[in-house]
Amino acid sequence: MGLSGNALVVLKKRYLKKDENNDPIETPEELFWRVARAIAEGDGSYEGPEQVEETARKFHRLMTSLDFIPNSPTLMNAGRPLGQLSACFVLPVEDSIDSIFDAIKHAAMIHKSGGGTGFSFSRIRPENDQVLTTQGVASGPVSFMTVFDVATETVKQGGTRRGANMGILRVDHPDIEKFITCKTDNDRMTNFNISVAATDAFMKAVREDAEYDLINPRTGDQSKRLPAQRVFDQIVQSAWKNGEPGLIFLDVMNHFNPTPAVGRIESTNPCGEQPLLPYESCNLGSINLAHMVKDGNLDYEHLKEVVWDGVHFLDNVIEVNQYPLPKIEELTRANRKIGLGVMGFADLLIALGVPYDSEEAVQTAETVMAFIQEESRAASAYLGKARGNFPNYQGSIYDRPDTPYLRNATTTTIAPTGTISIIAGCSSGIEPLFAISYVRKVLDNQELLEVHPFFQEVAKAEGFYSEELMKRIAEKGTIQDLREIPEHVRRTFVVSHDVVPEWHIRIQAAFQKYTDNAVSKTINFPFSATPEDVRNAYLMAYDLGCKGLTIYRDGSRDAQVLNIQRKPHYPQVEPRPRPDTTSGITERINTGCGKLYVTVNWDEHGFCEVFASMGKAGGCAYSQIEATGRLISLALRSGVKIESIIKQLMGIRCPSPMWANGEQIVSCSDAIATVLNHHAQANITSVQSLMGACPDCGAAVEHEGGCIVCRSCGFSRCS
């Protein structure tokens, strides 16, 4: 199959079946046969047994060639008892306690099965609004989002990952300003991506520096008016600070809604590439564009074959999928949405000799995606004629004489490819190369130097290859100022941070032009970028027809590590003396062992000591609490960042967890970390959201399409 060592590591850790000791009990070859045979069974209702077996062989070739890889839940669950194969779900949240907690329950079921969920909280009445049944006041959508977040944290997803959510609020909801800033300090909503749903009316008001209406969703009446510029600037400022909220352009999404008679789109999946109706799901797969080059040109014949086979594969997934809820199965089968996308776009450009940040790259993006769109529709029409149109075809945007057959309401999506691009051995999604050369951590903390194979080939062919140069590139992260490398090579091999935001957005818009659903992509900004740069990016994305935008300013989250730096040397340090005078605060927090009193003190240099005591505790428990406080104090006076201390303590579990003030406290150590987190300075980022280092292996992570991905071990924050 030509799997890389890195791909084998990821398959072993994330996808292969395991026994009770967590040891793999299948090989990669057996995995692909398991998936191929399970998905081929979708032919059973339309073809005989011989055709099912032939289809299994076709799907096996499709995957083992690494030309196409389906989304992670399909690789994990096809041919296994769980059988849940979709990555993307949207659940409704109505303005009632019953609906809210039904959504939480249903999300937990989906997360457990390996999927991610999106919600619009726009129907929930605003904070302090009337609650007629109790004569009280409403908590508002942001408060209820906290409950969703805690529930997600509690459910371990698929045995390997936490669940991921998208939280969306319309820009005309009365609580919009609170929503915009709900993740400013990164100490809440750690299992949510959040996006503001901007309407055309709002964007028009921004352009005209006008006010716009806020609408109470309970009554439908105007609540008040706000200056659009002010709200837009709040979105920009928050996104500049830490990347959230993103923007989705709600009216643009609904303009391309294929089944408007069924309902309006209100939300997307966690990374924003899949707009869905409430209770809809979608299954995705990606074509490896790095394999679609022959003799220095696009191989359209091979690409067409992979597109048709990919559509067949994804349509069969709908047939054999085991859905988590009957309502999801009903609507998914009624619209039969699939999302065929791409990965390896940066590799394709390099193979064609095209710089990522060029007009030729934009044209290549349009050409490739237009071809995929056209052929995927043709393949869907072929299936529609043979198997029947999707049930909601009548009344859809396709219900016209020139398209009498169509099996799927959508056929294309550009998703973040995360771990599947590692398996395929190609660049992620439609992102530029993240690094040309980098250090990968392997077992026993060993490090291997990884060099992009195309660059290594060119470097050797043109005579400038050396191990020393590759190490220098791994340290620098870019080759743009290395004059020993020829200019034409430097121009072609650009990495993400060599590409200015305008080109990122133009590439996204080029793909969006020929994509049914949406395009997931991260728009990278340098640390020096200004809020005005972010503002211009959002406006540009809207003008170019994007359905949304996710931005990330390098270094905007505290403790982010440079993803291409080698390990620095850390000297031994002496803690500074305890100051004679400190200021502080004592907080009482309930734990499963009793009431814990935590004192946090600081001086002019910052936090310097922590004391903790517990009511009537004595003996070993008291000594352990005292030892924890002493070691925290020693670390603080030795210059250790408080967020690093919190990260080590938070989540340590004891046999007696409990709830306190809406937070789950799982041990005395966790309680101390919670207090530290409460009283950390406003500009300190909560460690629950630090995204510089992989939480599984400690290696660097990439920001891709609103997701966090580790290319060393395959960890992905998203579903």
Which residues are part of the catalytic machinery? 269, 271, 273
Residue in 484, 474, 494 with CA at minimum distance from that of residue 350: 494
| Structural tokens at position 102 | 């039904």
Report the amino acid identity of residue 241: K
CB 132 within 8 A of CB 148: no
| Nearest residue to 686 (alpha-carbon basis) of 188, 32, 77, 47 | 188
Q: d(Cα 121, Cα 176) in Å, to the nearest integer?
A: 11
CA distance 667 to 548: 41
In whole angstroms, give the CA distance from residue 589 to residue 608: 21
State the angle between helix axes of 668-679 and 619-637 in degrees (0 to 180), rounded to the nearest 10: 30
Q: Which of 7, 475, 480 is nearest to 467 (CA)?
A: 475
The closest alpha carbon to 523, from 512, 507, 510, belongs to 507
First-residue to last-residue Cα distance in the chain = 26
Instruction: Spell out the residues 6+ positions from residue 267 whose beta carbon is closer than 8 angstroms to its own.
Output: 90, 118, 119, 120, 166, 168, 275, 276, 278
How many C-beta atoms lie closer than 10 Å to residue 156's C-beta?
12
Closest CA to 672 of 641, 638, 626: 626
Measured distance CA(655)–CA(496) in Å, rounded: 46
How far apart, in whole angstroms, are the C-alpha atoms of residue 166 and residue 90? 9
Nearest to 534 by CA among 234, 184, 274, 190: 234
